[in-house]
Amino acid sequence: MAMDSEEPARRQTIATAIAAELERQALDGAARIDVDALANAIDDALEAVDLPMAEGTRPEDLNATNDD
């Protein structure tokens, strides 16, 4: 789950991707929204953004005491 501080950046990335894809479709003369293309644009935008990882335990910080 994303940290609260990441949400504005993530939402802005999604909004920008939606706006750009809808503009592209409008310029191409689309009569209907291509939802698959819109979803792909959002996926691509989120993959391209280097958002910080959520806090958690790194594997090297784990202490497995039950592997005797």
- pTM (2 d.p.): 0.63
Q: What is the pLDDT of residues 3-43, one digit of tens each?
A: 556 688 889 999 999 999 999 999 999 999 999 999 999 99
Position with higher pLDDT, 56 vs 66: 56
The whole-number pLDDT of residue 1 equals 45
The whole-number pLDDT of residue 43 equals 94
Neighbours of 38 (CB within 10 A): 16
The whole-number pLDDT of residue 53 equals 61
62 pLDDT more than 90: no
